[in-house]
Amino acid sequence: MNVISQITTQSTAETEAFAEQFAKGLVGGEVLLLKGDLGAGKTHFVKGLARGLAIDDVVTSPTFALHNEYRGRLTLNHFDFYRIETSEEVEITGLNELFYDKNAVSAIEWSERVSDLLPARCETVQIEKLGDNVRRITISR
């Protein structure tokens, strides 16, 4: 994997601001695999993505719904597969088809649970807790 960008943020506001700037360069068709422990800041990163895509909606974690869709400059599909056990559960719903939408950005939490359904080219967003509010964010291809 090639590291595209790496930053250490000192607050959730900085994490969101970084994601907002990153999102401004997105053109559609990107699949972002969000990696990090519970509470690492994956949903805060998605909130920043939404702002960068000119989305005004309140962004929340789709833990129970599996998928939230937001419309702006591009559609943002936010997935959280923490609660699924097999990729077949996602395939049955057809949600995996959204991973291939060229007019959207997909942000996927717990993507390892659907690894066999993912497109060949994805970007990984690794968020590591370094302290109470300190995070290291590494984006790689």
**Per-residue pLDDT, 107:** 98
- The residue ranges of the chain whose pLDDT is under 70 are none
User: What is the distance between the alpha carbons of residues 113 and 80, in angstroms, rounded to a whole number?
Assistant: 10
**Phi, psi (rounded to 5 degrees) for 113:** -80, -10
pTM for this prediction: 0.93
- The domain of 87 spans 3-140
**Closest alpha carbon to 46 in 73, 24, 16:** 16
**What would the two tokens of residue 52 be?**
């960068």
| CATH value at residue 83 | 3.40.50.300
> Domain total for the chain?
1
**Per-residue pLDDT, 3:** 87
| Mean confidence (pLDDT) of the chain | 94
**Per-residue pLDDT, 39:** 86
**Closest alpha carbon to 70 in 51, 49, 52, 55:** 55
**Per-residue pLDDT, 65:** 85
